[in-house]
């Protein structure tokens, strides 16, 4: 954490079960002869603020950096979906490339992002930031800037996409009303993976909520390379777009799960 880290223990609530000490990924909690936990000095440098110590305590006896367990949402185990439901959701999710013109409202997009922010990140660094277009006209403008980039690249393999755009067809963002981008500081060690993970969560959540989404790979490339587009996105200094999604209300429904490669696995 490289700063002050504080673990407060409510001695009346603590069951002296050592769960928090066992759970700390870096072994930064010690337990005294009476079974009471406290932070080791190394925590100042090594605590990643993952909150596992607080989250695992069944008695809500701990606070980390002033955030008490009792202020955190409880895990309602009975409300979790059955494995079959999750499997069905994952297999039936499809990349959506046809959208109804009605946009989502700001709260619907924020609600998805407010779950995606719980995606895992390397050493709990949480480097992911989001940028999103609310207005369909703005989304279209950004798609157009991707086409500008395509026109600027000699031997661009996507010539057909440029022709399609000129004929009124958007093969970049497929007429989606929104674009949602995950960006991170260039210096973030696992920035690309952390952003991709969060975007994948976002796509699944969109499907779970009956929305449509599709990875915007071409747009992401353009956002990494085309200065006018980078400028239009107005990201913080040193940030890079590492992934993004088209988003909207689907105008299509899939009746079947298409086949994929069989499992390729070798045991180690
Ligand atoms: C990193 C990544 C980038 C992608 N970029 C695009 C894209 O720019 N345009 C597009 O139409 N689909 C894009 N896709 C969607 C893939 O084409 C799609 O996932 C694949 O064909 C499988 O279809 P499914 O997602 O319905 O299973 C991308 C997917 C990923 C994972």
Q: What is the rounded distance in angstroms from the CA atom of residue 143 to the CA atom of residue 175?
A: 9
- Spatial contact of 219 and 171, defined as CB atoms under 8 Å apart: no
Burial of 11: CB neighbours in 10 Å, binned 0-12, 13-18, 19+: exposed
Output the pLDDT for position 109.
Answer: 98
Q: Is the CB of 94 under 6 A from ligand 1?
A: yes
Output the pLDDT for position 57.
Answer: 96
Q: φ, ψ for residue 176 (rounded to 5)?
A: -65, 140
Q: What is the rounded distance in angstroms from the CA atom of residue 162 to the CA atom of residue 156?
A: 10
SS3 29: strand
Q: Is the CB of 221 under 6 A from ligand 1?
A: no
Q: Ligand 1: which residue has its CA nearest to atom 26? A: 94
Q: Is the CB of 214 under 6 A from ligand 1?
A: yes
27 CA from centroid of ligand 1 (Å): 41
Average pLDDT for residues 62-83, to the nearest whole number?
A: 94
253 CA from centroid of ligand 1 (Å): 17
Could you read off the pLDDT of 80-120 as tens digits, one per residue?
999 999 999 999 999 999 999 999 999 999 999 999 999 99
For residue 1, is pLDDT > 90?
Answer: no
Q: What is the rounded distance in angstroms from the CA atom of residue 35 to the CA atom of residue 22?
A: 12
Could you read off the pLDDT of 153-211 as tens digits, one per residue?
988 888 899 999 999 999 999 999 999 999 999 999 999 999 999 999 999 999 999 99
Q: Is the CB of 216 under 6 A from ligand 1?
A: yes
- Spatial contact of 37 and 7, defined as CB atoms under 8 Å apart: yes
Q: Is the CB of 158 under 6 A from ligand 1?
A: no
pLDDT band with cut points at 50, 70 and 90 for residue 2? low
For residue 4, is pLDDT > 90?
Answer: no
Of all residues in the chain, what percent carry a pLDDT higher than 90? 96
For the CA of 220, the nearest atom of ligand 1:
8
Which helix (H) or strand (E) covers residue 154, if one does?
none
Domain residue limits, the chain:
7-71, 86-248
Output the pLDDT for position 3.
Answer: 65
- The CATH number corresponding to 7-71 among 3.30.70.20, 3.40.190.10, 3.90.1150.50, 3.30.420.40 equals 3.30.70.20
203 CA from centroid of ligand 1 (Å): 11
170 CA from centroid of ligand 1 (Å): 15
Q: What is the rounded distance in angstroms from the CA atom of residue 249 to the CA atom of residue 47?
A: 42
Of all residues in the chain, what percent carry a pLDDT higher than 70? 99
CA atoms within 13 A on the CB side of 55: 8
For residue 37, is pLDDT > 90?
Answer: yes
CATH architecture of 86-248: 3-Layer(aba) Sandwich (3.40)
166 CA from centroid of ligand 1 (Å): 23
Average pLDDT for residues 250-256, to the nearest whole number?
A: 98
């Amino acid at each position: 954490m490289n700063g002050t880290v504080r673990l407060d223990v409510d001695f009346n609530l603590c069951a002296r079960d050592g769960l928090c000490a066992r759970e700390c990924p870096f072994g930064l909690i010690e337990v005294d002869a009476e079974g009471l936990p406290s932070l080791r000095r190394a925590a100042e440098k090594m605590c990643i603020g993952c909150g596992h110590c607080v989250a695992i305590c069944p008695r809500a006896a701990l606070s980390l950096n002033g955030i008490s367990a009792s202020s955190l949402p409880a895990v309602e185990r009975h409300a979790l979906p059955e494995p079959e439901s999750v499997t069905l959701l994952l297999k039936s999710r499809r990349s959506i490339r046809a959208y109804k013109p009605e946009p989502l409202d700001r709260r619907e997009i924020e609600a998805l992002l407010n779950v995606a922010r719980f995606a895992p990140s390397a050493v709990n660094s949480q480097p992911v930031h989001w940028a999103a277009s609310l207005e369909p006209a703005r989304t279209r403008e950004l798609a157009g800037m991707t086409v500008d980039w395509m026109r600027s690249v000699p031997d661009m393999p996507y010539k057909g996409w440029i022709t399609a755009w000129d004929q009124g067809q958007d093969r970049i963002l497929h007429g989606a009303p929104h674009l949602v981008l995950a960006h991170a500081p260039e210096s973030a060690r696992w920035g690309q993976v952390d952003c991709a993970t969060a975007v994948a969560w976002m796509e699944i959540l969109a499907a779970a909520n009956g929305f449509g989404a599709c990875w915007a790979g071409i747009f992401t490339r353009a956002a990494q390379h085309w200065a006018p587009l980078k400028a239009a996105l107005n990201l913080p200094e040193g940030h890079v777009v590492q992934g993004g999604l088209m988003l909207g209300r689907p105008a299509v429904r899939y009746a079947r799960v298409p086949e994929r490669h069989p499992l390729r696995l070798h045991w180690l």
